[in-house]
Amino acid sequence: MNYRTPTGGAIDRNTVLRFTFNGQSYTGHPGDTLASALLANGVHEVGSSVKLGRPRGIVAAGSEDPTSLVQIEAPFPEPMLLATTVELYDGLVARGLAGQGRLANEPDPARYDAKHEHCDVLVVGAGPAGLVAALTAARSGARVVLVDEQNQAGGALLGVDEYLDDRPSAEWVADVVAELKSTPGVLVLERTTAFGMYQDGFVLALQKRTDHLGFAAPASVARQRVWRIRTRQTVLATGAHERPVVFADNDRPGIMLASSARTFRHRYGVLPGSRAVVFTTNDSAYCAAIDLAESGVDIPLIVDARASAPSRLATECAARGIEVRAGHVVTGTEGSGRVTDVHVAPLGSGHADTVVCDTLLVSGGWNPVVSLFSQARGKLRYDSELGAFVPGEELETVRVAGSATGELDLTACARQGRNAGAAAAIAAGFTPSGQVPLPTSDSRCTARSGLVLWRVPGAEDSSFVDLQRDATVSDVLRATGAGLRSLEHIKRYTTIGTAHDQGKTSGMIAAGIVAEALGVELADQRPTTFRPPYTSVSFAALAGRDRGELHDPVRVTAIHPWHVEHGALFEDVGQWKRPWYYPQPGEDLHAAVLRECQATRESVGMMDGSTLGKIDLQGSDAGKFLDMLYTNMMSTLKVGKIRYGVMCGVDGMVIDDGTVIRVGEERYLVTTTTGNAAKILDWMEEWLQTEWPHLDVHCTSVTEHWATIPLVGPRSRDVLAAVAPSLDVSNEAFEFMTWHDTEVAGVPARVCRISFSGELAYEINVTAWHGLAVWEALMAAGAVYGITPYGTETMHVLRAEKGYPIIGQETDATVTPQDLGMSWAVSKKKPDFIGKRSFARAENNRTDRKQLVGLLPVDPSVLLPEGSQIVETDRLPEPPVRMLGHVTSSYPSAALGRTFALALVRSGHERIGETLYVPVDDSLVPVTVTDSVLYDKEGARRDG
Amino acid sequence: MTADPTSPLAAWTDRLTFAPALIASERPFLSQLTVRVSDPDAVAALGSALGVVFPSVPCTFTTGSGPFGAVEVLWLGPDEFLVVAAPDLQLPIEDALRAVPFKGSVVDTSAQRTTLVLEGSHVRDVLAHGCSVDLHPSSAPVGTCVQTLLARTGIILQVTGPDRFTILVRSSFAQYLAAWLSDACVEYGAVP
Amino acid sequence: MQLIPCPWCGPREEAEFHYGGQAHVAYPDDPSALSDEEWAQYVFFRDNPSGPFAERWSHNAGCRRWFNAVRDTRSHDLLAVYRVGEPMPEVTA
């Protein structure tokens, strides 16, 4: 059966769209939503309810609809959309849901993005109030953004056939929109829902840009966009939602809000059914009844809960053969799927009549949409005439206009819009020019408050408050019966208002029923908090373009292309990609690392150390400042020399380490660990700016100015000599912990003789521009020695063999230099440095602190998993088991010919020589505690 | 043997034309020096040495011409400036600045960042996808220089013409930024 | 996304800033002269008021300057910003 009217509606009847719903093929027209197209085909039953499996239909025409959840299957699976907000397109495949959908298994091929927008006045809602507000602000010269959820402006006017100023309302709307769009500095965003309102005029809005194009959506255009709007002033013209009245079996398909039925009629040319009973508490439903009757729907009865019906409207109804029964209510419905009968009885008590119908239209009054106002921390006030919460105060930067205030008369709404638009423009520093004329309507429905009626007494188990959550009056009464009084608690207990619709039609009613049950005034009740998002927003939209390779910046060094070309596998260190190891064909991690370690210890290896943090310090107080930052003395360092240093926080815990190079009398260059480069620069600036601004020191990051290449191993001197002919590389001329400026491969370079492996080693620094070429020159010069590039894993093994800790691996913000066995790096001479005072605290002097030691598994082939716990006995006692510490690093070692580990162990330094146990899987692995330095204790290899 | 320099966006050289959205181009190897100074007399003297008046207004840059040709000075903080000049001038500029006696510092940071010039009718649109600063000409006129975030990287952004911007980005982030720009321009018809 | 008014760069999104905890907690002149208790107060203890709170912020992604701000911890509203070394201004919460 076809419920499409012969004329009317903003649809293109000349074009037919084919779609599939629940496996059935249907047709509709451009301009339809999935809901209107289904209704046009006589389909009311969309899905079933989440808990009880009861059939559910379409209650409302817009985003407030609590029931019409569908799953889109084609063009791309998308769950939990409302049929009332899905614009129809050719080829759409959808099915109804029982409260849950399915996510696609494959990545969404569509693009999503975000865009920042700044304006003086943001207007939310393009109904009469919003349009006048926007036009008033635009004419003042302000930068204006107007967002509206619908695919065309008009708001409530889209659902009626009213005339404004003696012409169709659509013409008035079109004129205003045309002027707005042609005004410079005005942005009109259709299909855009402002879903979140935050501090400082920050509003998030979701624009559905190509959803409605379906298969024809261009791949290059973002399907949805999150607008990040920053505005000085906001006008909320968000309208009002009609609410139902709760009665027994009020959830059957075919039971619909009266104004929504009117919207389906006028906007889409669709009739809700053949024979409709209307149940109302106010005047507005009469207009729906009259309009539908004139369109051919049989309206046998209007049930008006008020003691007397409005006489003029009742007369109009009588002229159309519509009976009006005042002082009556609907007490229940029948039907196996869709409604087939309604029970009507006098309000209070009396005999119930049964009326046959296929549609029941309900109106329980209007709820102003105050979600964004409430999000903006606006206080709400209960309006007992409306039976709804309304904005209860003026905010400095947020104004409310139109039916969002509770006002229902069109001209009055438009006047509020004009006032709000002008006030917003003035507050933003503009002067409104002239007054936008206010439209007047020919509406037959006078705005008059109705009767506030939350529910009709009846079977509480089937009187649904929140249709999506299957929550009934029983559930509410169970909550109040259990002693709950706060609406916030009752919301959580009953789940009312927690579904996709966030209680747009149910929240107010729930509050009313609670107040009745508790015998309290709603004016004394605090409404539940409105939180973003106002309507559902997909994670894809929130992620925007921050996915795939753009998810997080990948930082690369100047030498990165070489690493890629030579098959390096990479490790993420912060945002950096660092070569992890360079496997040769057939090699796994262990094989490659053993080879890289061996080549480096026996001949020469090379790595990309460019990610090390580097900070240039200049000023007459630079030495003094470094003396405060490092635990050891830096001011005594001679120009030309280098010193290793440790930094602690005020609590005495190690935060970073690195080398300090004295470049000149008043200039140093310090290095930080890769991960802490930014943090340490901030740390320095924090002390300089907030504590010691009198110090003459300036810090500048040069991390990325320099490419840094450690050249390591007994043959490193020969390789360096080959590429730096002007440099005397002899041990005497170029001592350990000194630096020289020279040329390497023909470019200016600073070469430092430092070692993180115990081997003879140099660190070559050239500008990042020359990093790649110098790297290649070193590779070429080292070829005769079998120079081997190595990655972070080999670096870790080489340093661990020497017992050098890695900050962040051996340390975790609870480890002091003394715990690391680095008392030698803690100055006893300096009167103060950051952390010094904490070393004297009792806690820092406990003998059972965890200390860094080496562990040698008794079985030299056993590799301890990093992070393993360490216990004292070879059998686990009953829990709780005392843990002595944990393994911080563990590797197989080519140089030692066995596995080894570093660990933090209670009283570790005293335990050297003891056997402890490490639980691995189901066994306890015996390990011998050793000094943390396991290789070349004497330091014989340092000078080559 | 002499090693040839490679710029951070060398791999993107032929891929920076995002027409019709905008045209991007790397200006590699510019001389860049970070200058820390707060004494107004010293600031003036340093400017004279380069033939440019250092910016006194936060979030702006100045241009001038002197012994080192055209020089830009970018405001980075109340006592921090970035001097930008043609390639291969970092050493003589550093010498010229050090010749001025002042408390502060001069650091060659030429390779710390690379420079991208963006030009075209959609340049503001593209930037607005990742930059929260209002770049409307009324808020950010020519001469503006802000340090802020673009997508997920820090940048220095100079407004150099009606539809022309210069971005300075840390060298290690340059390829990420190029990839992000390339992707942002797809919306406006550019072919990735 | 809240705006924080950097005293130099003007209002910017909070993502550009780094939080530095309570303001006006000076590094002691001579830590060695303090008792363990006094030193622990400096290292570990900070106020946690409900209402106006003077804090340090750094405009990390911008001019990298530290400054002070008075924030109402109940609303997150920034009641005042002022430069390091300046006294805390009078605020009305």
Task: Note whether residue A75 is domain-resident.
Answer: yes
Point out the residue among A705, A723, A772 whose CB comes nearest to the CB of B110.
A705
d(CA C4, CA A336): 59
State whether residue A842 sits within 8 Å of chain C by CB.
yes
For residues A318 and A396, membership in a common domain is answered with no
Q: Which of A62, A20, A63 is nearest to A43 (CA)?
A: A20
Asked if residue A838 belongs to a domain, the reply is: no
Q: What is the DSSP string of A464-507?
A: EEETTTTEEHHHHHHHHHTT--SHHHHHHHH-TT-STTTTTTTH
- Which of the listed CATH numbers 3.40.50.620, 3.30.1360.120, 3.40.50.300, 3.40.50.150 matches domain B11-28+112-186? 3.30.1360.120
Residue A349 confidence (pLDDT): 81
User: Cβ C11–A200 below 8 Å, yes or no?
Assistant: yes
For B106, the enclosing helix (H) or strand (E) is strand B104-108
Across the range A822-851, mean pLDDT stands at 95
Chain B residues touching residue A555 (CB < 8 angstroms): 170, 172-173, 176
Q: Which residue has the higher pLDDT, A501 or B155?
A: B155
Chains adjacent to A (≥3 CB pairs closer than 8 angstroms) = B, C
Beta strands in A768-835 (DSSP E): 788-789
- The CATH number covering residue A768 comes to 3.30.1360.120
Render pLDDT for A96-148 as a digit per residue (tens, 0 to 9): 999 889 999 999 999 999 999 999 999 999 999 999 999 999 999 999 999 99
A173 part of a folded domain: yes
Q: For A639-656, what is the mean pLDDT?
A: 97
Q: Which letter does DSSP use for residue B120 in this model? A: S
Using the 3D structure, point to which of A445, A471, A490 is the last residue of a domain: A445
The pLDDT score that the predictor gives to residue A529 is: 87
pLDDT at A526: 87
Would the CA dihedral through A932, A935, A937, A939 be positive or negative? negative
Query: Would you call B139 and A704 a contact, using CB atoms and an 8 Å cutoff?
Result: no
Test mutation, C36, C65, C67, C74, chain A, max A CBs within 10 A: C36
Span of A211-220, A827-836, A872-881 with lowest mean pLDDT:
A872-881
Chains with ≥3 Cβ pairs under 8 A against B?
A, C
The proportion of chain A whose per-residue pLDDT surpasses 70, expressed as a percent, equals 99
Phi-psi region of A155 (alpha: psi -120 to 50; beta: other; left: phi over 0): left
d(CA B85, CA B74): 11
* pLDDT tens-digit readout, B2-24: 568 999 999 999 899 898 999 99
Residue among A693, A841, A842 minimizing CB distance to C84: A693
Q: Is B147 on the interface with A (CB under 8 A)?
A: no
The alpha carbon of residue C79 is apart from the nearest alpha carbon of chain A, in Å, by: 13
List pLDDT tens digits, range B108-132.
999 999 999 999 999 999 999 999 9
Q: Which of residues 47-76 of B touch A (CB under 8 A)?
A: none
Buried b (16+ CB within 10 A) or exposed e, A33-54: bbbbbbbbbbbbbbbbbbeeeb
Distances in whole angstroms, Cα of residue B121 to Cα of each of A222, A936, B20, B141, B162: 19, 65, 8, 16, 9
Question: Given A200, A682, A685, which is nearest C2 (Cβ)?
Answer: A200
Selected residues 213-272 of chain A with any CB under 8 Å from a CB in chain B: 220-222, 228, 230
- The distance from CA A13 to its chain's CA centroid, rounded to whole angstroms, is 41
Can you tell me the mean pLDDT for A409-434?
Answer: 96
Q: Are A19 and A92 in contact (CB under 8 A)?
A: yes
Please indicate, yes or no, whether residues A327 and A370 belong to a single structural domain of this protein: no
Structure-block tokens of residue A160 = 């009626």
What's the pLDDT at B116? Answer: 97
Within an 8 Å CB–CB cutoff, is residue B109 touching chain A?
Answer: yes
Residue A760 · residue A716 · CB < 8 Å: yes
Q: Does the beta carbon of C65 lie under 8 angstroms from any beta carbon of chain A?
A: yes
* Beta-carbon separation of C39 and A689 below 8 A: no
Sign (positive or negative) of CA dihedral C9, C13, C16, C17: positive
pLDDT greater than 70 at residue C93:
no
B22 - beta bridge partners?
Answer: B18
pTM summary value: 0.95
**What's the rounded Cα separation, in Å, for the pair B99 and B49?**
9
Calculate how close chain A gets to C39, using CA atoms only, in Å: 8
pLDDT, one tens digit per residue, over A752-762 is 999 999 999 99
A842: tokens are 């009792």
Residue A1, pLDDT > 50, answer yes
Percent of chain A with pLDDT over 90: 96
In the predicted model, what is the mean pLDDT of residues A399-417? Answer: 96
- CB-CB contact of A604 with A719 (8 Å): yes
Please determine, for residue A415, whether its predicted confidence score (pLDDT) is greater than 70. Answer: yes
Tell if the CB–CB gap between A747 and B129 is shorter than 8 Å: no
Whether A481 contacts A473, CB under 8 Å: no
Decide if A406 contacts A368 (C-beta within 8 A).
yes
Phi-psi category of residue C10: left, alpha or beta, with phi > 0 → left and psi -120 to 50 → alpha: left
Instruction: Give the separation between CA A832 and CA A500, rounded to whole angstroms.
Output: 60
Confidence check: pLDDT of A439 > 80: yes
Contact assignment for B172 to A221 by CB distance below 8 Å: no
In chain B, whose CA is at the least distance from the CA of C12?
B133
Residues 6+ away with beta carbon under 8 Å from B141: B159
Same domain, A599 and A732: yes
Distance CA A519, CA A516 (A): 5
- Helix (H) or strand (E) run with residue A517 in it: helix A507-518
| Cα three-residue angle C66-C69-C70, rounded to 5 degrees | 160
Pairing of strands A359-363, A255-257: parallel
Provide, as residue numbers in chain B, all residues whose Cβ is less than 8 Å from the Cβ of A554.
Answer: 175-176
For residue C34, give the nearest of A377, A685, A837 by CB distance.
Answer: A837
Burial class (CB in 10 A: 0-12, 13-18, 19+), A256: buried
User: To probe the interface with B, which of A700, A719, A723, A778 has the most B CB atoms within 10 Å?
Assistant: A700
* pLDDT one-digit tens code per residue, B144-153: 999 999 999 9
Q: The complex's ipTM?
A: 0.97
Per-residue pLDDT, B1: 47
For residue B170, is pLDDT > 70? yes
Q: What's A641's domain CATH number?
A: 3.30.70.1400
Q: Which of B34, B110, B173 sits opposite A700 (nearest CB)?
A: B34
- In this structure, how many other beta carbons lie within 10 angstroms of the beta carbon of residue B5? 20
Give CA angle at B122 (B120, B127), nearest 5°.
105
- Give the closest residue to A662 by CA, choosing from A654, A651, A672, A670: A670
pLDDT, residue A448, reads 66
For residue A434, the model assigns a pLDDT of 86
Interchain contact, A770 vs B110, CB within 8 Å: no
Compute the Cα dihedral for A594, A599, A601, A605 and give only its sign: negative
CATH number for position A267: 3.50.50.60
Q: Are A409 and A156 in contact (CB under 8 A)?
A: no
Query: Which among A530, A204, A240, A533 has a CA at the least distance from the CA of A375?
Result: A530
Confidence of residue C23 (pLDDT cuts 50, 70, 90): very high
The DSSP annotation for A779-794 comes to HHHHGGGT-EE--HHH
pLDDT in tens, B23-40: 999 999 999 999 999 999
CB pairs under 8 A between B and C: 37
* Pair A596, A664 in one domain: no
Nearest-angstrom CA–CA distance, A928 and A576: 36
Interface of C to B at Cβ within 8 Å reads 1, 8-10, 12-13, 15-16, 61-65
Residues of A whose CB is below 8 A from C1: 198, 200, 202, 228
Residue numbers in B near C1 (CB within 8 A): 132
Residue in B78, B148, B154 closest to C8 by CB:
B78
Query: Which of C12, C39, C81 to probe the A interface (max A CBs under 10 A)?
Result: C39
> Can you tell me the distance from the alpha carbon of A943 to that of A738, in angstroms, rounded to the nearest whole number?
13
Residues A143 and A191 in one domain: yes
Residue A538 lies in a domain: no
Max CA separation in chain B (angstroms)? 53
Domain that holds residue A474: 458-524
Pairing of strands A667-672, A698-701: unpaired
A430 has pLDDT over 70: yes
Distance CA B43, CA B66 (A): 16
- Residues of B near C (CB-CB distance < 8 A)? 58-59, 76-78, 80, 132-133, 146-149, 154
Chain B residues within 8 A of A143 when measuring between CB atoms:
136
Q: Do C16 and B78 touch (CB under 8 A)?
A: no
pLDDT average, residue stretch A232-243? 97
**d(C-alpha B161, C-alpha B169), whole Å:** 19
**What's the DSSP call for residue B1?**
-
On chain A, the residues whose CB falls within 8 A of the CB of C78 are none
Domain annotation for chain C: domains and CATH numbers: 3-83 (3.30.2270.10)
Residue A871: which pLDDT band, with cuts at 50, 70 and 90? very high
A114, A230, A700 ranked by CB distance to B107: nearest: A700
What length is written for chain A?
944
Residue A223 is classified by DSSP as S
Give the pLDDT confidence score for residue A533 in this predicted structure. Answer: 96
- Which pLDDT score is estimated for C59? 97
With 0-12 CB in 10 A as exposed, 13-18 as middle and 19+ as buried, what is A213? middle
C77 touches A: beta carbon within 8 Å: yes
Pairwise CA distance, residues A804 & A888, whole Å: 12
Query: Minimal Cα distance from A700: which residue of C?
Result: C64
A201 and A308 in a single domain? The answer is no
**A200 closest CB neighbour out of C3, C34, C85:** C3
Closest CA to A450 of A403, A506, A388, A405: A388
Q: What is the mean pLDDT of chain A?
A: 96
Residue A742 placed within a domain: yes
Q: Which of C12, C14, C18, C67 to mutate to test the interface with B (most CBs of B within 10 A)?
A: C12
Sheet strand arrangement including B17-18: B17-18, B22-27, B113-119, B164-170, B153-161, B145-150
Residues A133 and A220 placed together within one structural domain of the fold: yes
What is the reported pLDDT for B12? 94
Domain boundary among A410, A445, A480: A445
Look up the CATH number of the domain holding residue A490. Answer: 1.10.10
Judge whether A672 is closer than 8 Å to chain B, CB to CB.
no
Domain boundary among A301, A329, A363: A363
Q: Are the beta carbons of A136 and A130 closer than 8 angstroms? A: no
Question: For residue A687, what is the DSSP state?
Answer: I
C60 touches chain A (CB under 8 A): yes
In this structure, what are the phi and psi dihedrals at residue A851, rounded to the nearest 5 degrees? -130, 155
Contact between chains at B136 and A550 (C-beta distance less than 8 A): no
Residues in B closer than 8 angstroms to A704, CB to CB, are 111-113, 170-172
Mean pLDDT to the nearest integer, A258-268: 97
| CB–CB contact A693 C66 (8 Å) | no
CA distance A201 to A233: 7
Arithmetic mean of pLDDT, A488-494:
95
Confidence of residue A818 (pLDDT cuts 50, 70, 90): very high
Q: Structurally, how many domains does chain A consist of?
A: 6
Residue A4 near residue A265, CB atoms below 8 Å? no
Look at residue A929 and tell me if it is in a domain.
yes
Whether residue A732 sits in one domain with residue A584: yes
Contact A853, A908 (CB under 8 A): yes
| Interface contacts (A, B; CB < 8 Å) | 138
| CA A575/CA A895 separation, integer angstroms | 32
Domain match, A594 and A673 both: no
pLDDT at A348: 86
Both structure tokens of A582:
């360079």
Indicate the fold that domain B31-110 takes in CATH: Alpha-Beta Plaits (3.30.70)
- Give the residue among A238, A236, A229, A237 at the shortest CA–CA distance from A201: A229
Contacts of A745 in chain B (CB under 8 A): 1-3
Residues A264-309 pLDDT 10s: 999 999 999 999 999 999 999 999 999 999 999 999 999 999 999 9
CA atoms within 13 A on the CB side of A266: 26
CA distance A254 to chain C (A): 43
Confidence of residue B101 (pLDDT cuts 50, 70, 90): very high
How is chain B split into domains, by residue range? 11-28+112-186, 31-110
Q: Show the 3-state SS of chain C.
A: CCEEEECCCEEEEHHHCEEEEECCCCCCCCHHHCCHHHHHHHHHCCCCCCCEEEEEEECCCCCCCEEEEEEECCCCCEEEEEECCCCCCCCCC
Distance CA A809, CA B1 (A): 41
Q: Could you say which residues from 763 to 792 on chain A have a Cβ atom under 8 Å away from some Cβ of chain B?
A: 766-774, 776-777
